[in-house]
Structure 1
Amino acid sequence: MAVSSPHLPPILSPLQLKTPLNLNTRLNLSPFFKISSKATPTIRRSSVIIASSGSKDAMSSQEKLELFERYGLDPNDFLSEPSVKRKRRKDRGQEMGKGKQPVVEVVRKPPRTTHKLLQVLGGKAKRKKLLSPVGMDVRPMMEVVKGAAFDILQVAGGCPASLRPGRWLDLYSGTASVGIEALSRGCSEVHFVEMDPWVVSNVLQPNLQWTGFLDFSVIHTVTVENFLERAQQFVGGDTTFDYISVTPPYMKVDYGILMHQISDSSLVGEDTFIVVEYPLGTDMLDSCGCLMKIADRRFGRTHLAIYGPKWAMKKKKKG
């Protein structure tokens, strides 16, 4: 603390306060100051810094409080205000959004829609248009591939005009165009396996209603893997099918594993035909369980393989 008067130089005390001293005031310069006077001295208080942050003898917060209490001073009167630079830095940080939680923008996908680009190629529902989703979420079998597949099956089955009556299993159904084509050409019942509920309710079922085949259809809204593992539970009774179509999304399946799962299941019988659509560069086996590959066609980047019983291969050669 500094005590000043017109005739005496400033004297520092432990609190480093500058206080004007009246000439009539008696001063005791002991280690701790004591000011006494008959007249009340005028004391002008200013901001006091007990110790700077860079000082080696810096006092702790508790020591500062004890020192203020010892001399009957209010600590709030001596707290230094934040510097102008610090205040500006804080304001600038608030303007720039510091300390605020980041705002996560949710990108909403546009609503899914459908259009009518497909059609039934033959049979009872020939030339009827079918719905399909807009975009690449569902990739229907190309009509040229579908037409070739059914032509091969009809010839191999010994009835070029139509399919042999039987049950069809349509794996990865999507638009149901393959299964509907089978019903239109003579199949008695088709089981559709499609995992996407939106496709089932907005594409597959409307197509079955439009073509009049809803009563001859069974829809399983599950994954193909789940269906193959629990075929007995889903189908019940006789699980063997006369025809099985496999049209998966190209890049999302391992064809080797998938074909082994199908051939090892109870879905395949000795007289079953299996239609497989696969991409260019995929190696397909010459047999699938007890069935032989009776056809393998290429349509651009798309390949079509058909497996069937040995007797169908002989009929195909004769035809």
Structure 2
Amino acid sequence: MAVMLSSPIVSPLGINIDMNKNLGVSYSSFPKIHAFRVCNPLCIRKSVVTVVSSRKNSGSGLASEDKKLLLERYGYDANEFASQSKKTRRKEEERNSQKQEEVIVQPRTTHRLLQVLAGTAKRKKLLSLKGMDVRPMMEVVKGAAFGILQAAGGCPTSLRPGRWLDLYSGTGSVGIEAISRGCSEAHFVEMDPWVVSNVLQPNLEHTGFVDASVIHTARVENFLERADKLVGKDGAFDYISVTPPYMEVDYEVLMDQISKSAAIGENTFIVVEYPSRTTMLDSCGCLEKMTDRRFGRTHLAIYGPKWAQKPRKS
């Protein structure tokens, strides 16, 4: 069937077809084509012709064989058309992959906003990481925790001499505060090498506590599993601070691991900072909860030996 129209035909492939062009192509092998001309006598505009194939196609649009025949009928090279489509898709994929690779990573920077609250290094400024990658213990929480520990040890002005284990140490502000207030040694456990090199180590150098410190660049879980080999000949720690990233730990699992670790003993005090809507048990191994306070959305729980417990009012 031959169709002769003065207006261009728009095919399903988006190709403008001039039907007045004599292409000299046999139509016997091509599916039947129905042409519909739509015109509006009230306005002057281009006529629109929709070309529909009578050959059945299970998918959307024309079948691949129909597309090839249609392209050849109107003087196009089907193979070249297909290769151009593949090249276009390939270029788009390469462009998208390059955009993903060009994601700019913001440099990590520090500032001095923290300070030592009391002791030999009082008021010395400490480095901390800008942003929320490392979240140090708030000063009001830290001050309350050390006040409780000092009172429990019978010396309101300083800590009982002992060894401190600072888990998830980050800036090291808790362990540094402990040394400043009387601890003989502090162990810092931090998994991020950049934080260790650019924040924790400079803070120890600035306060002069390098000789009284031991840094463990490791995950807390791994440290606790090997605590019997890492704590040294002195055995269990006298104090342990636990200040993890809130959303990255399961407190029930973490406290259970601490309770079974060689890091704690019968006379150990444990300071735990945790978020709201978190349930803390009344005991951690042989240690009992001494206090549980709230500071806004932050909570502070302290576990200690039985001899340090305040007598409860009846």
The TM-score with structure 2 as length reference comes to 0.72
Tell me how far 1:85 sits from its aligned partner: 6.9
3-state SS of 2:267 partner: strand
Preserved contact between residue 250 and residue 278 of structure 1 (Cα < 8 Å):
yes
Higher alpha-carbon deviation: 263-272 or 241-250: 263-272
Preserved contact between residue 171 and residue 203 of structure 2 (Cα < 8 Å):
yes
Higher alpha-carbon deviation: 212-221 or 234-243: 234-243
Aligned partner of 1:132 among 128, 140, 148: 128
CA gap 1:264/1:99 in 2 versus in 1, 3 angstroms:
closer
Tell me how far 1:317 sits from its aligned partner: 7.3
1:245 counterpart residue number: 241
Describe how 1:140-289 pairs up with structure 2 within 5 A: 140-289=136-285
Could you give the per-residue CA deviations for residues 180-223 of structure 1, whole angstroms, max 9, x where no partner exists?
00000000000000000000000000000000001100000000
Tell me how far 1:239 sits from its aligned partner: 2.9
C-alpha RMSD of matched pairs (Å) = 2.8
Q: Which amino acid aligns with 2:88?
A: G
CA gap 1:288/1:296 in 2 versus in 1, 3 angstroms:
same
3-state SS of 1:191 partner: strand
Q: Does 1:291 align with 2:283?
A: no
Aligned partner of 2:89 among 98, 105, 124: 98
Instruction: Return the alpha-carbon distance in structure 2 between the equivalents of residues 212 and 202 of structure 1.
Output: 16
Tell me how far 1:227 sits from its aligned partner: 0.2
CA gap 1:189/1:51 in 2 versus in 1, 3 angstroms:
same
Tell me how far 1:102 sits from its aligned partner: 2.5
Q: Which amino acid aligns with 2:89?
A: K
Q: Which amino acid aligns with 2:217?
A: T
Tell me how far 1:286 sits from its aligned partner: 0.8
Provide the identity percentage.
69
CA gap 1:295/1:237 in 2 versus in 1, 3 angstroms:
same
Unaligned ranges ≥5, structure 2:
1-22, 32-71
Tell me how far 1:233 sits from its aligned partner: 2.5
Instruction: Return the alpha-carbon distance in structure 2 between the equivalents of residues 288 and 158 of structure 1.
Output: 22
Unaligned ranges ≥5, structure 1:
1-46, 56-79
Describe how 1:74-85 pairs up with structure 2 within 5 A: 83-84=75-76
Tell me how far 1:311 sits from its aligned partner: 1.2
The structure with more radius of gyration: 1
| Aligned residue pair count | 246
Q: Give 4+ residue runs of structure 1 displaced > 2 Å after superposition.
A: 47-55, 80-94, 96-103, 232-239
3-state SS of 2:151 partner: helix
Preserved contact between residue 231 and residue 239 of structure 1 (Cα < 8 Å):
no
Could you give the per-residue CA deviations for residues 242-291 of structure 1, whole angstroms, max 9, x where no partner exists?
00000000011111111111111111111100000000111101111111
The TM-score with structure 1 as length reference comes to 0.71
Instruction: Return the alpha-carbon distance in structure 2 between the equivalents of residues 99 and 272 of structure 1.
Output: 63
CA gap 1:310/1:136 in 2 versus in 1, 3 angstroms:
same
Instruction: Return the alpha-carbon distance in structure 1 between the equivalents of residues 236 and 289 of structure 2.
Output: 19
